[in-house]
Each structure stands twice: as structure tokens, then as C-alpha cells.
Chain A
Amino acid sequence: MINIGEIKKSLLSALWFMLLTFPIMVIRVNTIDHTIQWRWERLVWVGGAVFILSFAWRYLLRRRQASARQTVMDIQTRGLVSHLLQRPREIFQTPSVRRPAMGLALVFLLALPLIFSWNRTILMTNVLIYVVLGLGLNIVVGLAGLLNLGYAAFFAVGAYSYALLNHHFGLGFWTVLPIGAGLGALFGILLALPVLRLRGDYLAIVTLGFGEIIRLMLENWNDFSFGPSGIDNIAPPGLFGLSLTLQQTHTFIYYLMIALTTLTVVVVRRLENSRVGRAWVALREDEIACQAMGIDKTKAKLSAFALGSTWAGTAGVVFAAKQKFINPYSFTIWESIMILCIVVLGGMGSIPGVMIGGLIMVLLPELLKEYADYRWLLFGAILVLMMVFRPGGIISDVRKAYAFEAEEEEPHHG
């Protein structure tokens, strides 16, 4: 596989990238004391890294092409390797393996606060919040195929509704939880109504604009939202009037999030195979065909936006209660893109995929703390690479397929 031609190609790419990155990677101009810093060693890194990566790149591209050809050709001729790769999924699909595995995972999650320190518990709460957000966005992006780049705005709606109602009227967590969810849905519909006719790129930009408008309003409308300084001293959720210590509160919020995540998974699972869920998938695949089949496009889009943002609103309320302090900077466009990364990485439209995506995207930066600076660089690369090589994500959504059995068909003779 590795011959002279391949090496030459990689050498050329390495040289090209060394040339390309030369000014920005190597030279650093200090404009104040007029000195120039030359960092030649970086050129070597770039060259070496590109040399190796270009092999991988070409190998993966070839494999992608081969697999695309394979699906066109007879499925029977599939190689042993790809067959073996299919095995873990099949094993996991069988109920006798699946149920105990999921039970074990649930027991582990429930016991987590007892095993690990409470810092870890808070971290897992974060993961769960992002999983809920990812599942919500998954309805809009993964199922209905409507790219929403302003999802953090609905998260903000939930968080601010709790913070403000708590601050002004002293309303408790449990009262505001449904209110936050309702407001999330309301804002979802508010956004969806004007953009019903749009899709694809324009829809993405409008949702991005909407998200930024909400954030900028929170930042500038001081009388309403207390501006950039945010809101402090948000009450933690109550548990039948018991007084909890800080640590107990966090454990309680953790269990709350487990309950919420379970609820989300159940609801989304039920939605997926419902009439409206099928309508979303049809909408994603082909809008015109979907309309021709008699699906109410307006209703499908509105319900996708509304249901997607309901979860963001709910997660926002929990987020505010957990943080005790919120300001507009938690709800920027990058937050939306991070949630989008979770959905894309895990697998658009797939529930276990989104859960794994959330786990990776939140835990990975936490584990690689020294490399925290490289986090966004990595997210960007993940988005591109996933789209090029594995658009379905880690666990891609398997569509229900209906097969006709040709043998049973009775021949009709006139």
C-alpha cells in the first residue's frame, strides 16, 4: 500500500502545508517593541504531522469510496472486516444483551455520587444537561433536518425565566420548571413562524441571527436582565422543604437530571416512531415529496421547533438552579455550536449517539485540561472530519426499512 507514489504525494502535501502555515505559525511580530520571534521548530511539527495525516486522509477517502461502491454492488460481497464491524451493533441490538447492559449502566449512574467525589457528580450533571440539550436539538436537526444555530437562545430563555421569576417574585424551582419549558416552546414557535418558508442555509443564518438577538438583548437591556453582570443568588431546587447542604443539593440536582434525561429519552423515543416523528423524517429527506404525501409541513416544522426548544427551556431552568448565577456569556453562538457538535459527533437522529456525543464532548475537555486551549480547534476539526468521513456520526441512526418478500407474491395471469 505504501509505495513511492504515495510517499511522494504525502511529501508534497507536507511541503504545501509548511508553506501555507509558514507566516502564521512561524513568525510572530511584536508590534510594541518591534521585535520578531521566529519559531522554526513549529514548521517541523507541521511538516511531520501533515506527512503522516495525509496517508490517513487518503486511506480514509479510499475506504469511503470503496464503501460507497459496495452499497451499490451486491451486499453479499461485503468483506469480512466490515462484517465484523457490524457485529457489535447486532450484539447490542439483541434484547438479552441490551437490557442487562442498559440496566448496569443505569445502576452505575445511580450509584455514581456514592462512588466518586462531588466534583465528579457536578461534572456528570453537566454531561446530563448537555445530553438533554443534545436530544432536544436532535429533534430539530437530526430528525426534522432543520439546522438551528440559535439553540442556546432557548437554553437562555429557560435559565433567565427561572432566574428572573425567582429574583422578582420568589417563585420556586418546581413552579418555574413547567413555565421555563412552556416559554421555551413559545419562543420556539415564535422563531418557527416566520421561518416556515426557509430552509437550508437561510434557515441556519436566521436562527443564528435570532440566537444572537436574544443574547444581545440580555446583554444590553439592563433594566430587564441586569445586563452583562448577570443574576446572582438563584435559589436551588427545593426537596419537600428539607434544608440541604451545598453538597446534598448538588447530589439532588444530579438525580434530578437523571430523571429528566430518562424522561427525555422516553419521550423522544416515543416521538421518533410516532406519526409526527415520521413526518419529521419525511420532511428531512425530501420536503416536496413529503408535502405531496399529504403531510402538513407547517405543523411538522412548528412542532419540531416547539418540542426541540421545550427541552432547552427545561434544561435551562436546571442549569440556572445548578449554577446559582447566570449571565449572557453562557449563551453565545459557540454554545449552540457545541451542542450541535454533540449531535453531529454522536450521530444525527440517534438517541444513544447523542448520549455518547454528550459524554465525549463534555468529559474530553475536562480530562485533557492542559490542552483546554485546543478544545475549539478540535471541535472544528471534528465537525469537518465527521462530515467528510462519517456523516452518520459514531452511532448512526438506522432507518426502519420495510422489505418486500418477493417469493410470496402470487403471479397474476390474465
Chain B
Amino acid sequence: MNFDYFFQLFLGGLTRGSIYALIALGYTMVYGIIELINFAHGEIYMIGAFTALIVIGVLTFAGWNGTAVLVIAAIVAMLYAAAYGWTMEKIAYKPLRKAPRLSALLSAIGMSLFLQNYVRLAQTANFLPFPNLIPDFAFLKPAARFIRPSEIVIYATTAIVMAGLTLLIKFTRMGKAMRATAQDREMAQLLGVDVDRVISTTFVLGSATAALGGVLIASHVGQINFYIGFLAGIKAFVAAVLGGIGSLPGAVLGSLVLGWTESFFTGYVSSDYEDAFAFLFLVLILIFRPSGILGRKAMEKV
């Protein structure tokens, strides 16, 4: 066995996993609270990447350059994505809170379809190159063969976002309200939790995280188009389920497992069936381990 090749695949899987994790973190939060697959979460990630690209374009045109541009673009993208997430919840999900699950799910699919085509029509259907503005860190020079600066930034961001969200949920008032809402929405409401605000906040936070992911991933991959969100969203969902839906460390763990599995499969078995394998993995996980690695088995109340 070639160790060098193995190590490459391992790092490739780690990067993939961290990428999925950035999207899965927001996904798992939203799912934990409203128990709805937010199909449009991937679209928010895509909109974040597009907004960042536009901001970078405008700033570069105005003569700015360097890392500052990336930071500003990322902040603007997060703000915009949060606004989109908030608006989306008000339009497509809030009126359906008491409706059957099937209706909310169909509405989510519609929202995803709408946002995708909105970007396609307003911008372009082609792939756009995304500039790589992440600086070359000096301390990475010796390891340049294995690891790119963008990868380090992605690992670090994933870790920071996970830690930050965990702290928020564990220790703040809003975090407590979120946990209460996730456990029992009606009871939380009776005890004075403003459920509408909690759900809105969750959407805002989740969308901002997704946008951050969008900016970093686009910098890493180097190109974006309107369709990148769909598959990313589904894979992030699988990662979130694998880790145990609603659990933040679980989302990261699940993403890493998914990333490594995919990376080793494509490296050792076949690259033609990369996506087919991801879907097969998805089907197997949902069938055999729907409660995930870190999740508790859900009992159904009658």
C-alpha cells in the first residue's frame, strides 16, 4: 500500500468533510428546531458565494485588493444570506407551521427550485471563476506539497464555528430557548419562549454559517454556479443525519466520516461512480442508522 497516496486521500477527505461540516452545522440547527429538511439551505450557501463574488468584483474594480476584500465580502455575504434565510422562513415555512409535514417539505423543494432559478436568471447559468484571496501562510511552506492555505482556513473556520455555536446553544439565553423549542415547541411557548423569534434566529444563524461556508468553499474550489447548492445541501443533510440530527459535534463528525468515505472510495474503487456512491451511502445510512452516530434513538409519542 502506498502511504503517500493514502495520506493524500486522507487529507482530501478531511477537506471534503470540513466543507460538508460548514454547511451541515446550519442544517442540523434548523432541522433540530423545526424538524423539516430545509432543501433551500444549499441554495442559501450558493447565494452566499454569489454575493461574495459580486462584492469582491466591485471592490476589486474600486481598486482594493488583498485579504481585506475577502473578509469584507464574507461579512456582506453572511449578512445577506441571513436576510435571505429570515425572509424565506417568513414566506415559505412560517405559514405552514401547523400544516402536515408533507406540505412543508414540498414548500421547501419549491423554495429551493425558486432560488436556484432566480440566481440563474439574474446572474448566469455558466460557471464563474472565483478568485482565491486566501493569503499564503509562511508557516505552511514546508507542507505545501500536502496542504493548501485554503484548506487550513477551512479546518480552522469549521472548528471555530462549531465551538462558537456550541457555546451559544449551551450558555446563552437564546441557546436555552432554542433547546427548549427543539424539545417541545408548545411547552416552550407556554413557558414564555418567543418561538417565532427563536425560529427566526435559528434560520439567521444557520444561513450565515452556510454563507461563510459558501465563501470559503468557493475560494478553495475556484468556481461557482447556480447549481452548486443542491448536491452540497443533500450531502450536508446526510452528514447531519449520520452524526445525529440536531447535534453540532455530530454534524462535524458525520461530515468527516462522509468526506473520508467518499475520498477513499474515489481513490481506491472508482471515480466514475463518486456521486452514485454518495447517494448509496446516503440511502444505507438513512435505512440502517437513521438516529446517527451521536444521536439518541427517537421514540415516537402517540
Question: What chain B residues lie within 8 Å of A149 (beta carbons)?
Answer: 109
Q: Which residues of B contact A (CB under 8 A)?
A: 35-37, 47, 50-51, 53-58, 60-61, 76, 80, 83-84, 87, 91-92, 95-96, 99-107, 109-119, 121-124, 128-129, 131, 234, 237-238, 241, 272-273, 275-276, 279-280, 282-283, 286-287, 290, 300, 302
- How far does the Cβ of B72 sit from chain A's closest Cβ, in whole Å? 13
- 20 A/B residue pairs, CB under 8 Å, sorted by A: A24-B118, A29-B57, A29-B58, A31-B53, A31-B128, A31-B129, A147-B102, A147-B106, A202-B241, A205-B282, A209-B280, A210-B283, A213-B276, A288-B302, A376-B117, A380-B110, A383-B110, A384-B110, A384-B111, A388-B92
Complex Cα distance A216/B58, Å? 39
Instruction: Encode contact with B along A30-46: 1 for CB under 8 Å, 0 otherwise.
Output: 01001110000010000
Q: Does A171 contact B (CB under 8 A)?
A: no
- How far does the Cβ of B131 sit from chain A's closest Cβ, in whole Å? 8
For chain A residues 179-216, which have a beta carbon within 8 Å of chain B? 194-195, 197-198, 200-202, 204-206, 208-210, 212-213, 216
B283 touches A216 (CB 8 A): no
B95 touches A376 (CB 8 A): no
* CB closest chain-B residue, reference A61: B95
A337 touches B123 (CB 8 A): no
Question: What chain B residues lie within 8 Å of A198 (beta carbons)?
Answer: 286-287, 290
- How far does the Cβ of B233 sit from chain A's closest Cβ, in whole Å? 11
Q: Does A220 contact B (CB under 8 A)?
A: yes
Can you add 15 more A-B contacts, CB < 8 Å, to A194-B287, A205-B286, A209-B280? Answer: A23-B50, A36-B61, A195-B287, A201-B105, A205-B282, A206-B283, A209-B283, A210-B279, A216-B273, A288-B300, A337-B113, A380-B110, A380-B113, A381-B110, A384-B91
Q: Does A25 contact B (CB under 8 A)?
A: yes
B117 touches A377 (CB 8 A): yes
Complex Cα distance A383/B84, Å? 18
- How far does the Cβ of A33 sit from chain B's closest Cβ, in whole Å? 11
7 pairs of A and B residues whose beta carbons are closest in the complex = A383-B110, A29-B57, A380-B114, A380-B113, A216-B276, A384-B110, A209-B279
Complex Cα distance A27/B128, Å? 14
B92 touches A205 (CB 8 A): no
Complex Cα distance A136/B61, Å? 54
Question: What chain A residues lie within 8 Å of B276 (beta carbons)?
Answer: 212-213, 216-217, 220
Question: What chain B residues lie within 8 Å of A28 (beta carbons)?
Answer: 54, 123-124
* CB closest chain-B residue, reference A383: B110
Complex Cα distance A279/B166, Å? 45
Q: Does A340 contact B (CB under 8 A)?
A: yes
A381 touches B286 (CB 8 A): no
- How far does the Cβ of A340 sit from chain B's closest Cβ, in whole Å? 7
* CB closest chain-B residue, reference A203: B286
Q: Does A373 contact B (CB under 8 A)?
A: yes
Complex Cα distance A300/B109, Å? 26
Q: Does A16 contact B (CB under 8 A)?
A: yes
- How far does the Cβ of A353 sit from chain B's closest Cβ, in whole Å? 15
Instruction: Encode contact with B along A11-32: 1 for CB under 8 Å, 0 otherwise.
Output: 0000011011101110111010
- How far does the Cβ of B259 sit from chain A's closest Cβ, in whole Å? 18
Q: Number of residues in A with C-beta < 8 Å to the partner?
A: 59
* CB closest chain-B residue, reference A210: B283
For chain A residues 359-414, which have a beta carbon within 8 Å of chain B? 373-374, 376-377, 379-388, 391
Q: Does A308 contact B (CB under 8 A)?
A: no
Question: What chain B residues lie within 8 Å of A391 (beta carbons)?
Answer: 99-100, 103
A34: which of B60, B110, B275, B279 is its contact (CB, 8 Å)? B60
Tell which of A28, A377, A382 has the most Cβ of chain B within 10 Å: A377
B101: which of A64, A201, A209 is its contact (CB, 8 Å)? A201
Question: What chain B residues lie within 8 Å of A387 (beta carbons)?
Answer: 92, 96, 99, 103-104, 106-107, 110
Question: What chain A residues lie within 8 Å of B275 (beta carbons)?
Answer: 212, 216
A36-B57 contact in complex given A24-B50, A204-B105, A384-B92, C-beta closer than 8 Å: yes
Q: Does A145 contact B (CB under 8 A)?
A: yes
- How far does the Cβ of A339 sit from chain B's closest Cβ, in whole Å? 12
Complex Cα distance A21/B99, Å? 29
A24 touches B57 (CB 8 A): no
Question: What chain B residues lie within 8 Å of A19 (beta carbons)?
Answer: 83
B110 touches A373 (CB 8 A): no
Question: What chain A residues lie within 8 Å of B91 (beta carbons)?
Answer: 384, 388
- How far does the Cβ of B31 sit from chain A's closest Cβ, in whole Å? 8
Question: What chain B residues lie within 8 Å of A35 (beta carbons)?
Answer: 61
Question: What chain A residues lie within 8 Å of B110 (beta carbons)?
Answer: 379-385, 387
- How far does the Cβ of A215 sit from chain B's closest Cβ, in whole Å? 9
